[in-house]
Each structure stands twice: as structure tokens, then as C-alpha cells.
Amino acid sequence: MTDTVLIDEGTKILTKALGKVEAERFITLIIKEPFDYTKWRKNLYEDMSIDELSDKAMEFVNSKKG
């Protein structure tokens, strides 16, 4: 996937999930904030057990089936 396609798809997803105004607001906040995605990702699930993480993943998968 090219960078252009990724940006286009990401924008569509954000707009669908948040609406145009909130998607634009989100993008603006991300650009302004010094944000280290890798560091954030490493700490995202550190307080969650493997069972809890598995349950959340299964809930997500099941929510996409219907």
C-alpha cells in the first residue's frame, strides 16, 4: 500500500468513525502533539493479563462478524 493510499484509507476510516469535524480535530491534535506511536504501543496493554487481552480480541472479532 502506498503512502497516498494509506492516508486516503485512514482518513475515510476516521471520518466514518468520528465524523468530519472530529476526524479533522483528531488529525490536528496528532500533528501538534509530540507522539511516539511505538512507545505508546508498547505500554498499551501492559496492565492487562493475557486472558483479558484474548477476551478483548475475541469481542472485537465477534463484533465484526455481524
CB-based burial, 17-32: b 16+ in 10 Å, e otherwise: eeeeeebeeeeeeeee
pLDDT in tens, 44-53: 888 889 999 8
Report percent pLDDT > 70 for the chain: 98
Cα distance between residue 1 and residue 4, in whole Å: 8
Judge if pTM exceeds 0.75. no
Would you tell me the crossing angle of helices 3-18 and 20-32 to the nearest 10 degrees? 120
Cα distance between residue 11 and residue 7, in whole Å: 6
Report the pLDDT averaged over residues 22-41: 86
The residues, any chain, with a CB within 8 Å of residue 48's CB and separated by 6 or more, are 56
